[in-house]
Homo-oligomer: A and B are copies of this chain.
Amino acid sequence: MMRTRPLKVALLGCGVVGSEVARIMTTHADDLAARVGAPVELAGIAVRRPGRVREGVPSELVTTDATALVKRGDIDVVIEVIGGIEPARSLITTAFEHGASVVSANKALLAEDGAALHAAAEQHGADLYYEAAVAGAIPLVRPLRESLAGDKVNRVLGIVNGTTNFILDRMDTSGAGYSEALDEATALGYAEADPTADVEGFDAAAKAAILAGIAFHTRVTIADVHREGITEVTAADIASAKRMGCTVKLLAICERAADGRSVTARVHPAMIPLSHPLASVREAYNAVFIEAEAAGRLMFYGPGAGGSPTASAVLGDLVAVSRNKLNDATGPGESAYTRLPVSHMGEVVTRYHISLDVADKPGVLAQVAMVFAEHDVSIDTVRQQAKEHFSGAVGASVEGGGGRREGGEASLVVVTHRAPDAALTATVEALRALDTVRGVASIMRVEGE
């Protein structure tokens, strides 16, 4: 039984994702209608620059007045693929006020102001779906919100930014430095002209906030997420990781504390063992591990960005939201009942890989070990080498030359056991203050073990 009145959809934004959404809605209209139970009609497309509208997008639907479009009153679903905070937030709020449900791909907005948007949706009996905001076409929001709704998620660990994964993968594969790899990513279209949001970890941090909130049924905003980008990752770090049987990845990590009373969310580069499935995630792909009490460890893998994959996620949500409309029902809204606080990075328990340039003389190791002990940080392994033995392997950041002699330099690589991040940070500061420590060549967390 097909309802005769079609559901009307307003599309806000017609860039890479929006034009693909419009194209699929047009070419696959019959399939969408069959799956929803009613025709789903594109009723208007709001753009900033009407001259730029792409091939296959019905030009008679294009308008520059997004506000008027969402206020029309006959719109059932608004798809927001503009991105950014404003005008997206106002438009979404206006859409709810005028009876529409919303499908959004806007990670920045959801990570900053998700709670207010969810509240507005609930107030107006509307849906807010946003699978496309996290990791493109990879289903993550729905599995966390629905498939694992009867389980207790303890950890989410993943590669959620394709640009940085591409850069780190190139650095790992070719031995290139960060700038060189970034240039390649830009040339190939994997990095934007201004790559800040990606390489400084803002994009991944927004996704971490969204995932943590859903996973732990609490509120997490991007301001709660500890964030370090990849701009300081050096060829020497990658080489150092390789010697440990590891690779370097930019990870988003959301964890429930061991006592269950708080959660943490963080984004930073980390070494992970080559045997870990995330180590083999190449190029711009994304992959996310979810560890749940009953389900065990699940992994989700796929293209994390791009017009078509993101459009796929948007359209999946469009079908769900449209069905809900027909049922006069709404899907799951915000679930933040646990009200678990988000702890600071200092309380996260992690491991450090620290590479020190030290004076090559007796007693240095003892001195360094004492600093660790004073901070209650237990050492897992230490590797001590005079510089000339491995300068080739370490690469550009380590100065060559200098035989093993009194007054020369050696390198000390320390891998710690798990300890609070604050203790590890304080240890590193204390090490820097030692006379015998000439410099800290590399500090990186170790994950995935």
Contacts and interface: CB of A to CB of B under 8 A. Distances in A.
Interface in A93-139: 131, 136-139
Interface in A311-349: 311-320, 323-324, 327-330, 332, 335, 337-338
Chain A contact patch, size range: 35 or more
Contacts of A32: 150
Q: How many copies of this chain?
A: 2
Contacts of A39: none
Contacts of A311: 294
Contacts of A143: 139, 142-143
Interface in A282-311: 292-303, 306, 308-309, 311
A297 B303 contact: yes
A393 to B, nearest CB: 27
A31 interface: yes
A311 B303 CA distance: 29
Contacts of A299: 299-302
Contact of A312 (B28, B151, B300, B306): B151
Contacts of A34: 217, 335, 337-338
Contacts of A328: 329
Nearest to A151: B312
A198 to B, nearest CB: 20
A10 to B, nearest CB: 16
Given A150-B315, A295-B308, 18 more contacts: A20-B294, A31-B152, A34-B217, A34-B338, A139-B139, A139-B147, A147-B313, A148-B316, A149-B319, A150-B317, A150-B319, A277-B301, A293-B312, A294-B308, A295-B303, A296-B309, A299-B299, A323-B332
Interface of A: 20, 24, 28, 31-32, 34-35, 131, 136-139, 142-143, 146-152, 217, 277, 280, 292-303, 306, 308-309, 311-320, 323-324, 327-330, 332, 335, 337-338
